[in-house]
Amino acid sequence: MDLADRIALVRRHTDELITEAELTAAFEANARPRVYIGFEPSGRLTVGHLVCARKMRDLQEAGCELTVFLADWHAWINGKLGGSLPRIQAAGEYMHRAFVALGVDDASARWRWANELTGNSAYWSRVIQVAKGTSLARTRRAMTILGRGEAEADLDTAKLFYPSMQVADIFELPVEIAYAGRDQRRAHILARETAHAEGWPVPVALHTPLISSLKGGARMDPAADGADGKMSKSDPTSAILIPSTRDEIAERIRGAFCPPKEVEANPIIELARHVVLPWEGTISIERPAKYGGTLAFTDAAVFEQTYKDGGIHPMDLKASVTASLDRIMAPARAYFEAYPEALRAMDVPA
């Protein structure tokens, strides 16, 4: 695979790359540039994580050295799973297994835990160095990376450590490319600003789209980089968990917000564009011949325009997305049917 093809593989189905020139330089300087994505282990993955899983596979196929960072201390700070480190770490083990079941190459990935860094005084020195170069106001603006607003009244002091820790993680691992969903953009921008100020290597920032809550009806807040309004496991009616049965997927999709001819803030359109198309290469809308027969799209813009024009009925779209998600999720479902203890260990209800 030549350099242009590797860059194209990294870039495809992304929202933002900062910057392409830096990404090209990273590949030119290193046959296997290092990239990381971090997750707070906080329970079951949702179908929104299928966006990340597909991009993780793309990055591996492009020849990157992938690090998956299981941020147990960060989840503890953020009060996830009742603040229980054992449950958080069980959730991290589940995430590891789930991503491997979804096709992430276990053998070529590095799976790192935050607790591996927090036991090192050099890490805390880095955290303090980042914090000393960051104003309190700037830290508060970055609180959206925790899924919290900067003005939350119940914000405890520990949460103020979080942005500086996330920035320090990038340099301590270390990596050339920081990848995440768009909700983590502020942390990556802060890392780039810190690198410029401190003379550290500047990480490339790569972001993929978020999937809206199935309840829909509201645009994700651009000021929060989309963190508000995204699919969340904390609201069972807003998400489809991994794994789910075909019937569970169908039930969630059936009740989802999907107005005819509207593509903005439509979670079913987003699932088709950002999950189905990247995973299957085609959005296929199966219809009886009397209703025009099957439609197949390999171009997201053409698909969305057809929906806007009324050429696709919402119920046909929902049936198509249900079938696709069932196929995509099947390997993870089979894995956890064979190894259910990974779900029980988190004590997270299905």
3-state DSSP assignment of residue 180: strand
pLDDT of the residue at 266? 95
Please indicate whether residue 124 or residue 224 has the higher confidence score (pLDDT): 124
The closest of 342, 285, 284 to 97, measured between CA atoms, is 342
Residue 318: pLDDT over 90 = yes
Q: Which residues pair with 58 in a beta bridge?
A: none
**pLDDT band at residue 148, thresholds of 50, 70 and 90?**
low
Residue 90: pLDDT over 80 = yes
Q: Which domains does the chain have, with CATH numbers?
A: 3-208 (3.40.50.620), 222-344 (1.10.240.10)
Percentage of residues in the chain having pLDDT higher than 90: 77
**pLDDT band at residue 138, thresholds of 50, 70 and 90?**
confident
pLDDT of the residue at 156? 81
Residue 152: pLDDT over 80 = no
* 55 contacts 252 by C-beta, under 8 angstroms: no
pLDDT of the residue at 185? 95
Which run of H or E residues covers position 296?
strand 295-297
Please indicate whether residue 169 or residue 154 has the higher confidence score (pLDDT): 169
In angstroms, the CA 206 to CA 124 distance is: 26
* 283 contacts 320 by C-beta, under 8 angstroms: yes
Read off the pLDDT of each residue in 331-346 and give the average, rounded to a whole number: 88
Give the pTM. 0.91
* 68 contacts 110 by C-beta, under 8 angstroms: yes
pLDDT of the residue at 314? 96
Residue 86: pLDDT over 50 = yes
The closest of 278, 269, 270, 275 to 317, measured between CA atoms, is 269
C-alpha angle with apex 57: 177 to 336, nearest 5 degrees? 125
Q: Which residues pair with 333 in a beta bridge?
A: none
In angstroms, the CA 39 to CA 53 distance is: 12
Please indicate whether residue 293 or residue 53 has the higher confidence score (pLDDT): 53
**pLDDT band at residue 350, thresholds of 50, 70 and 90?**
very low
The residues, any chain, with a CB within 8 Å of residue 342's CB and separated by 6 or more, are 90, 93, 94, 97, 336
Residue 323: pLDDT over 70 = yes
**How would DSSP label each residue in 324-350?**
HHHHHHHHHHHHHHH-THHHHTTT---
Mean pLDDT is lowest, of 48-52, 87-91, 143-147, 317-321, for 143-147
Read off the pLDDT of each residue in 128-157 and give the average, rounded to a whole number: 78
Instruction: Indicate the burial class of 149 (C-beta count within 10 angstroms; 0-12, 13-18, 19 or more).
Output: middle
User: In which residue are the tokens 């920032």 written?
Assistant: 205
Read off the pLDDT of each residue in 78-94 and give the average, rounded to a whole number: 92
Percentage of residues in the chain having pLDDT higher than 70: 91
**Mean pLDDT for the chain?**
91
**pLDDT band at residue 139, thresholds of 50, 70 and 90?**
confident
Read off the pLDDT of each residue in 184-208 and give the average, rounded to a whole number: 96
Q: How far is CA 315 from CA 105, 254, 281, in A?
A: 36, 8, 21
**pLDDT band at residue 55, thresholds of 50, 70 and 90?**
very high
206-242 pLDDT, tens digit each: 999 999 999 886 555 555 555 556 777 667 678 999 9
pLDDT of the residue at 209? 96
Mean pLDDT is lowest, of 170-174, 237-241, 247-251, 321-325, for 237-241
Mean pLDDT is lowest, of 15-29, 277-291, 302-316, for 277-291
Please indicate whether residue 291 or residue 149 has the higher confidence score (pLDDT): 291
Q: What are phi and psi of 36, to 5 degrees?
A: -135, 155
The residues, any chain, with a CB within 8 Å of residue 289's CB and separated by 6 or more, are none
Tokens matching residue 85: 């480190």
pLDDT of the residue at 153? 43
3-state DSSP assignment of residue 272: helix
